[in-house]
Amino acid sequence: MKKRGSKPARFKVTFLPFETTLEVAAGTDLLQAARAGHLPLKATCGGLGTCGGCVVRIVRGECRRKSSAALSSKLSSQGYALACSTQIIGHLTVELPQFEELFLEKVVDFRVTDELKDGLSGVRENDPPLRKIGLSLPPPSLEDNSSDWRRLERELRNKVSFETLDGKHSALRKLARSVRQDQGKIWVVIHKKGGAAVVLDVGAESASRSIFGLACDIGTSTVALHLVDLESGKILGTASSYNQQLKCGEDVISRIDYAQKPGRLLELNQLVVATINHLVGKVTRTAKIRPADIYYAVFAGNTTMTHLFLNLDPRFIREEPYVPSFNNVPEFRGADLGLGIHPEAVAYCAPAAGSYVGGDISAGVLATPLLRDTEKISLFIDAGTNGEIVVGNKDWLMTCACSAGPAFEGGGIRCGMPASRGAIDRITIGENGRVEYSVIQAKRPKGLCGSALVDLLAELFVQGLIDRRGKFKQSSPGGPIVMAEHGLAFRVEEGRNTHWGNDLLVTENDIANLIRTKGAVFSACSTLLKKLDLGFDRIESIYIAGGFGKSLRVESAIRIGLLPDLDRAKFHYLGNTSLFGAFLILLSDRNKRMAEAVGQKMTYVELNAEPKYMNEYTASLFLPHTDASLFPSVGRKGPTG
């Protein structure tokens, strides 16, 4: 019984997985609400209900849905709805399906373990600084009524060497009871650090459990982690999702800017910590272990991500002379960082080399063979949203960073998505314009991941559908080229064959984004090499990392001018080196020291201070390059447009 003239009722809408809750007036549509909450929901048609980009899943609550041709009745019956066509008439919880956890089995499939496993820079020994040790304390007597702690120390000395023994308050609190539960048989978790040993936890033998570690890559766009059994060194599970900070900006610069208003640094910090804790929850539930049994966590991220993860203002990274708060960071307590693991867990962040070359790279280098050779020069390219390049060998390392953008991880591209279930990961276009593709673990595609986008760009170019500047050669629709809202587009697949029921289209704007991204990476490489007075021909091996997906084809990457035109045998695609490097650091302090040495050894080149960089970049905004002679093998095969 609403009175006339009274204000409209207001309802709470929660968007998962961001856990953002807003209060909006009754009748607001979900797309308006998502925009008010700065949520990254795409709607290329501008909310007309035609593109199908703003699909959401209704988890709980009542809403009024208009039917739309852009959403199949099957999906509609499964609870999916278009945000633009859904009115809020009660409290509501919805999920943005594009931001569900990714199925990263494929992304983190380690090529390195197959191709190069014995040739990596990092050592593959299992000797973590955190250990669980079983002890059997002799019973106290009137003759020897040493304290529980003293008896623990004595027995521990028989098993581990240390100069000083410390312990956490929470461990000491459990000691007396644990010692008496199983006739003196206990386990302790110790952290060895130099000559000191610190008891993090203690328990009775009958309550013994395995102890676990986390290796985590904190990317600007995606966060991925491994759950590791610290005793065997085995990876028990892997989880990954978008970084929830995405709603605050796509790249590190926009995140730093976002952080400058009051409360925003904490918001960014809480978003990334929530992302990590969400993944910890997922991976521990699957492995059926308690999060509190995780005692060690190693994080690798770019410098801005690490600052935000540590709740440190990244502002001075962005201001000349670009100084971070830290490169090498001390170890902190899990509880200090808000992590949902053991409160006294040791949390370590891989060391950075500079403001724009972070721990993801010093860890990443360990996951390459770069440091094994004193003679041969290698190039390491991590083509994430923040792109980093390292060139060097065992004796010297030089590095730079560029803002590549998220295109290769599926961001900023209309039909882009990460390399997870439902992603097209390989594409070929026949001479007739006929498209063939493969989909990750699904039949109907949802979108295209990085490797497919690289393929597609190469094929469009090689088949003569686009010119060197990335423009469609034909000026009107016909064949696979169709008219979309804002101009011509290449149709990869028709809506009736796709998961969401909408056409998979690639526009000129998407192509321009891809070209900018590949251009930023290639020009960073060439600028760095020119600074060293090295030609690409001096490079013996090229290691590529990034979120492209497992199926990146080097041939395609060379055809678009992302990678230099060298002997294909020199290229090795390594996947997520940051995550694998974090895992190596977790396994052994020797790797940790190596990462610290890498961080200190790398000479950082600030591209913004390099006069040649802008020219190099501009010259790279062609397919494959302004200077076609740099890509002789591409010239031989493809048309020059």
Q: By CB under 8 A, name the one of 101, 373, 467, 606 that touches a copy of itself.
A: 606
Pairwise CA distance, residues 233 & 213, whole Å:
9
Pairwise CA distance, residues 505 & 482, whole Å:
9
User: Rounded to the nearest whole angstrom, what is the least distance from the CB of residue 448 to a copy of itself in the complex?
Assistant: 39
Taking every pair of Cα atoms in the chain, the longest distance, rounded to a whole number of angstroms, is 98
User: Rounded to the nearest whole angstrom, what is the least distance from the CB of residue 341 to a copy of itself in the complex?
Assistant: 15
Can you read off the two tokens belonging to residue 622? Answer: 């062609």
Would you say 194 or 632 has its CB closer to a copy of itself? 194
- Does the footprint of a copy of itself cover residue 166 (CB under 8 A)? yes
Comparing CA positions, the residue from 59, 66, 45 lying closest to residue 97 is 59
Please give the C-alpha separations between residue 226 and each of 81, 287, 473, in angstroms, as whole numbers. 33, 11, 46
- Does the footprint of a copy of itself cover residue 375 (CB under 8 A)? no
User: Rounded to the nearest whole angstrom, what is the least distance from the CB of residue 137 to a copy of itself in the complex?
Assistant: 10
Neighbours of 234 (CB within 10 A): 11
- Does the footprint of a copy of itself cover residue 148 (CB under 8 A)? yes
| Interface characters, 126-145, with a copy of itself (x: CB under 8 A) | --------------xxx--x
Under a CB-based contact definition with an 8 Å cutoff, are residues 297 and 346 in contact?
yes
Would you say 27 or 139 has its CB closer to a copy of itself? 139
Pairwise CA distance, residues 185 & 178, whole Å:
8
Under a CB-based contact definition with an 8 Å cutoff, are residues 79 and 55 in contact?
no
User: Rounded to the nearest whole angstrom, what is the least distance from the CB of residue 198 to a copy of itself in the complex?
Assistant: 8
Would you say 331 or 373 has its CB closer to a copy of itself? 331
Pairwise CA distance, residues 225 & 218, whole Å:
8
Q: By CB under 8 A, name the one of 184, 340, 354, 384 that touches a copy of itself.
A: 354
Q: By CB under 8 A, name the one of 12, 57, 91, 180 that touches a copy of itself.
A: 180
User: Rounded to the nearest whole angstrom, what is the least distance from the CB of residue 584 to a copy of itself in the complex?
Assistant: 22
Residues 72-101 that bind a copy of itself (CB under 8 A): none
> Judging by beta carbons within 10 Å of its beta carbon (0-12, 13-18, 19+), is residue 533 exposed, middle or buried?
exposed
Q: By CB under 8 A, name the one of 105, 229, 331, 596 that touches a copy of itself.
A: 331
Q: By CB under 8 A, name the one of 336, 395, 485, 494 that touches a copy of itself.
A: 336
For the chain, first and last CA: distance in Å? 68
Neighbours of 386 (CB within 10 A): 28
| Interface characters, 430-449, with a copy of itself (x: CB under 8 A) | --------------------
| Interface characters, 188-217, with a copy of itself (x: CB under 8 A) | ------xxx---------------------
Pairwise CA distance, residues 211 & 499, whole Å:
41
| Interface characters, 309-328, with a copy of itself (x: CB under 8 A) | -xxxx-xx---xxxxxxxxx
- Does the footprint of a copy of itself cover residue 359 (CB under 8 A)? no
Pairwise CA distance, residues 418 & 441, whole Å:
13
| Nearby residues of 608 by Cβ (< 8 Å), 6 or more positions away | none
Under a CB-based contact definition with an 8 Å cutoff, are residues 129 and 295 in contact?
no
| Interface characters, 536-575, with a copy of itself (x: CB under 8 A) | ----------------------------------------
Comparing CA positions, the residue from 337, 332, 359, 339 lying closest to residue 591 is 359
- Give pairs for 259-265: CB < 8 Å, separation 24+: 259/308, 259/313, 259/314, 259/315, 260/315, 265/308, 265/311, 265/313
- Does the footprint of a copy of itself cover residue 150 (CB under 8 A)? yes
User: Rounded to the nearest whole angstrom, what is the least distance from the CB of residue 281 to a copy of itself in the complex?
Assistant: 23
Stretch that binds a copy of itself, among 332-340, 506-514, 522-530, 626-634 (CB under 8 A): 332-340
Instruction: Give the total of residues touching a copy of itself (CB under 8 A).
Output: 54
User: Rounded to the nearest whole angstrom, what is the least distance from the CB of residue 394 to a copy of itself in the complex?
Assistant: 23
- Does the footprint of a copy of itself cover residue 21 (CB under 8 A)? no
Would you say 334 or 411 has its CB closer to a copy of itself? 334
- Does the footprint of a copy of itself cover residue 589 (CB under 8 A)? no
Would you say 175 or 390 has its CB closer to a copy of itself? 175
- Does the footprint of a copy of itself cover residue 612 (CB under 8 A)? no
Pairwise CA distance, residues 414 & 492, whole Å:
12
> Judging by beta carbons within 10 Å of its beta carbon (0-12, 13-18, 19+), is residue 321 exposed, middle or buried?
exposed
Can you read off the two tokens belonging to residue 65? Answer: 């849905």
DSSP 530-595: HHTT--GGGEEEEEEESSS-TT--HHHHHHTTSS----GGGEEEEE-HHHHHHHHHHHBHHHHHHH
Would you say 162 or 536 has its CB closer to a copy of itself? 162
User: Rounded to the nearest whole angstrom, what is the least distance from the CB of residue 153 to a copy of itself in the complex?
Assistant: 8
Stretch that binds a copy of itself, among 108-116, 171-179, 286-294, 512-520 (CB under 8 A): 171-179
Would you say 118 or 320 has its CB closer to a copy of itself? 320
Q: By CB under 8 A, name the one of 26, 36, 172, 482 that touches a copy of itself.
A: 172
User: Rounded to the nearest whole angstrom, what is the least distance from the CB of residue 283 to a copy of itself in the complex?
Assistant: 24
User: Rounded to the nearest whole angstrom, what is the least distance from the CB of residue 180 to a copy of itself in the complex?
Assistant: 7
DSSP 297-327: EEEEE-HHHHHHHTT---HHHHSTTT--S-S
Q: By CB under 8 A, name the one of 352, 458, 539, 566 that touches a copy of itself.
A: 352
Pairwise CA distance, residues 469 & 163, whole Å:
66
Would you say 295 or 461 has its CB closer to a copy of itself? 295
- Does the footprint of a copy of itself cover residue 261 (CB under 8 A)? no
- Does the footprint of a copy of itself cover residue 627 (CB under 8 A)? no
Under a CB-based contact definition with an 8 Å cutoff, are residues 382 and 364 in contact?
yes
Q: By CB under 8 A, name the one of 21, 67, 164, 206 that touches a copy of itself.
A: 164
User: Rounded to the nearest whole angstrom, what is the least distance from the CB of residue 387 to a copy of itself in the complex?
Assistant: 20
| Nearby residues of 350 by Cβ (< 8 Å), 6 or more positions away | 298, 299, 300, 301, 358, 359, 360, 362, 363, 581, 582, 585, 595, 599
Pairwise CA distance, residues 553 & 561, whole Å:
13
Please give the C-alpha separations between residue 204 and each of 72, 154, 175, 299, 344, in angstroms, as whole numbers. 57, 17, 9, 31, 18
Q: Under the rule (CB under 8 A), what is the footprint of a copy of itself? A: 140-142, 145-150, 163-170, 172-173, 175-177, 180, 194-196, 310-313, 315-316, 320-333, 336-337, 352, 354-355, 604, 606, 609
